[in-house]
A and B are shown apart, each in its own frame.
Chain A
Amino acid sequence: MKRFLPALVPAALAAALFGICLGDPYFMDIFILTALMGTIAVAWNLMAGFTGLISLGHSLFFGIGAYVVAYGHVGFGLGPLLTWPLAAALAAAVALVIGLLCFRYGLRGYFFAIATLAFSEVAFLLVSATPWLGRSDGMMMPTEDDAARYLQFMEKWPYGLIVLAFLTATLLVGQHFASSRAGSYWRAIRDNEGAAEALGVPVMRYKLLAFVVSAVLTAVGGAFFASTFSFVDPRSTLGVDLSIQLLVFSIIGGLGLLWGPLLGAALLIPLGEVLRTAMSGFTGVNIVAYSVLLMVMALMLPHGLGGLLKTRLPRPRLGARTAFRQEDAAR
């Protein structure tokens, strides 16, 4: 149980925020968006921060999730009970194929990033040209009589509750991997692939594992997006901007921490809302502020705000063997 603390504490904080936002639909909207983006950023960071694989094409998996749900509904009248698992399975298969292609040739760093970007751009452009997926206009999912089966609610709060569960599950899954053999292998691969391989780490298999886990969680996020807004379009679900946002949240919050990206999202999304409202007369001022913040943080605080916070937190004094466990868990 103790090893799941780094997952349970942020989840409890999120639950408290959910409670606070319960009274106000506007706040609940922001909560839903923040929790969704933060959770996907956590999933993204399992690859980037833990394994050293920087994907700039994660919108592909988000889009797969969103479009499987939307098309399943519009085309075949399928509900989330079927389309969510389908979305996850499809994302896993796509990640497996892309991963095999990229890792077989040892694409790393910038090359891997740009390759993933290329895959997501192809998907973006092809979906934008596909009539039965609504082209660039997107797809609206009709309201059904049997609303609950399609996760169609009048109120906002049920969506908040679902995203809270998604957030908690993602943190638990992430912590499970991070504090076990997979996490150990991931970090070894990130630091020195050759040495890891010589020590018996099956590098290919564990890179694929990170990619597939991350893609599946991201696709579930996309599926949630479609079910919540009953609308998908290429720009908001498959665009590069989405992928870049995940990187931004992780950098600001702290790449080395499971909950770092969540912290980044929790700070930036509400801040963006405030800036947008406060400076409604000046288009783009919020993004200017945002980008300057990103550059400064990336240069000055390589471990993000989470890293700063973590070093300030008083750590209980324990024996060496227990202490390393704590650190392992917190990472």
Chain B
Amino acid sequence: MTAPILEVRDLGKSFGGLRALSGVSFAVPAGAVFGIIGPNGAGKTTLFNCLSGLLKPSGGQILFEGRRIDGLRPHDICRLGLARTFQIVRPFKGMSVIENVMVASYGRYPASADAERHAFEALRAIAMDHLAGTDAERLSVAEMRRLEIARAIATEPRLLLLDEMLAGLTATEAGALCDQIVELNRRGITIVMVEHSVPVISRMCARSVVINFGSLLAEGATQDVLRDPRVQDAYLGSAAA
């Protein structure tokens, strides 16, 4: 196994008296497609918000490429090479698709011409370059998801966090998007994905963790994790019932 690109140690987050995450530890190997599974309200989005700096953890450490990033501001984390997408996609209004992506590429390329060129490349990587001039508000749901991913990869991350990227997509759209994620991974971006659909996770992710009630339930190879009786009880069993 390669060295971990992301390491989470004993991460905790509480809101007032409510503990949303406690004692979460896991490591993501560089180059992996890594899955995070868990029922609704298990703390997956809170975990992502802590990783990307939108929330400040109450305890524990987050290491990205061996460097502590917990407590850094979101834009600093992004500049370091850790990008994310949001479950609820909201493009910047009144901007075209490429202008949306340029907000992200400006971070590495301050000159407009360079930022534009790299934004265009990000759009091509997710097969959206034909929509570059379209008003972002006029996109379909599936296209908005792609835009969300294009914006994230335009920050040129080495690690990409995808939050429920397939929600609300048809099977065809989801399949196409999954293929593109695999392609991104092949180009060297480590992927961590929160996903509801167990089949998708088991198809795409070699390793996964399961979170329930804010704590880690299981970690390991996805097939083993899914066979774990505690996981079956807590999540899959009740979902199947």
Q: Are B98 and A324 in contact (CB under 8 A)?
A: yes
Q: Are A181 and B106 in contact (CB under 8 A)?
A: yes
A254 CB to nearest B CB, Å: 12
Q: Are A198 and B110 in contact (CB under 8 A)?
A: no
A residues near B132, Cβ cutoff 8 Å: 320-321, 324
Which residue of the partner chain, among B54, B79, B92, B133, contacts A324 with CB atoms under 8 Å? B133
Q: Produce 1/0 per residue, B81-112, CB < 8 A to A.
A: 00110100010111110110011101100101
Would you call A187 an interface residue if the criterion is a C-beta within 8 Å of the partner chain's C-beta atoms? Answer: yes
Q: Are B99 and A202 in contact (CB under 8 A)?
A: no
> Which interface class (under 10, 10 to 19, 20 to 34, 35 or more) fits B?
35 or more
Would you call A137 an interface residue if the criterion is a C-beta within 8 Å of the partner chain's C-beta atoms? Answer: no
In the complex, number of A-B residue pairs with CB atoms less than 8 Å apart? 91
Q: In the complex where A181-B112, A321-B116 touch, is A201 in contact with B103 (Cβ < 8 A)?
A: yes
Docked CA distance A200–B105 (Å): 9
B118 CB to nearest A CB, Å: 13
A291 CB to nearest B CB, Å: 28
A232 CB to nearest B CB, Å: 39
Q: In the complex where A181-B112, A191-B93, A192-B90 touch, is A197 in contact with B98 (Cβ < 8 A)?
A: no
Would you call A221 an interface residue if the criterion is a C-beta within 8 Å of the partner chain's C-beta atoms? Answer: no
A267 CB to nearest B CB, Å: 24
A residues near B73, Cβ cutoff 8 Å: 197, 202
Q: Are A256 and B94 in contact (CB under 8 A)?
A: yes
A residues near B30, Cβ cutoff 8 Å: none
Docked CA distance A321–B155 (Å): 20
Docked CA distance A323–B133 (Å): 7
Using a CB–CB cutoff of 8 Å, the interface residues on chain B facing chain A are: 52-54, 73-75, 78-79, 83-84, 86, 90, 92-96, 98-99, 102-104, 106-107, 110, 112, 115-116, 120, 132-134, 151-152, 154-155
Q: Are A324 and B96 in contact (CB under 8 A)?
A: yes
B residues near A130, Cβ cutoff 8 Å: none
Would you call A121 an interface residue if the criterion is a C-beta within 8 Å of the partner chain's C-beta atoms? Answer: no
A221 CB to nearest B CB, Å: 28
Docked CA distance A116–B75 (Å): 27
Most chain B C-beta atoms within 10 Å of own C-beta, residue among A192, A197, A199, A320: A199
Q: Are B54 and A180 in contact (CB under 8 A)?
A: no
Query: Which partner residue on chain B sits nearest A196 by CB separation?
Result: B103
B residues near A181, Cβ cutoff 8 Å: 106, 110, 112, 115
Query: Which partner residue on chain B sits nearest A182 by CB separation?
Result: B106
A residues near B107, Cβ cutoff 8 Å: 199-201
Q: Are B116 and A188 in contact (CB under 8 A)?
A: no
Docked CA distance A319–B110 (Å): 24
Which residue of the partner chain, among A199, A327, A331, contacts B104 with CB atoms under 8 Å? A199
A320 CB to nearest B CB, Å: 3
Q: In the complex where A184-B99, A321-B116 touch, is A200 in contact with B90 (Cβ < 8 A)?
A: no
How many residues from A make CB contacts under 8 Å with B? 28
A170 CB to nearest B CB, Å: 21
Q: In the complex where A197-B74, A199-B155 touch, is A187 in contact with B98 (Cβ < 8 A)?
A: no
Query: Which partner residue on chain A sits nearest B117 by CB separation?
Result: A321
Q: Are A200 and B133 in contact (CB under 8 A)?
A: no
Docked CA distance A187–B96 (Å): 12
Q: In the complex where A320-B133, A324-B96 touch, is A184 in contact with B103 (Cβ < 8 A)?
A: yes
Which residue of the partner chain, among B54, B95, B115, contacts A198 with CB atoms under 8 Å? B54
CB-contacts of A195-247 with B (<8 A): 195-203
Apart from A199-B154, A201-B103: 14 A-B pairs, beta carbons within 8 A:
A187-B95, A188-B103, A191-B93, A195-B86, A197-B75, A198-B54, A198-B84, A199-B75, A199-B78, A202-B75, A203-B75, A320-B134, A321-B116, A324-B133
A residues near B116, Cβ cutoff 8 Å: 321
A residues near B102, Cβ cutoff 8 Å: 184
B91 CB to nearest A CB, Å: 8
Docked CA distance A323–B106 (Å): 19
B residues near A284, Cβ cutoff 8 Å: none
Query: Which partner residue on chain B sits nearest A303 by CB separation?
Result: B94
Query: Which partner residue on chain B sits nearest A202 by CB separation?
Result: B75
Q: List 25 A-B contacts (CB under 8 A).
A: A181-B106, A184-B115, A185-B103, A187-B92, A191-B90, A191-B93, A191-B94, A191-B95, A194-B74, A196-B103, A197-B73, A197-B74, A197-B75, A198-B54, A198-B83, A199-B78, A199-B151, A199-B154, A200-B75, A200-B155, A201-B107, A323-B133, A324-B96, A324-B132, A327-B96
A residues near B104, Cβ cutoff 8 Å: 199-200
Most chain B C-beta atoms within 10 Å of own C-beta, residue among A185, A197, A198, A327: A198
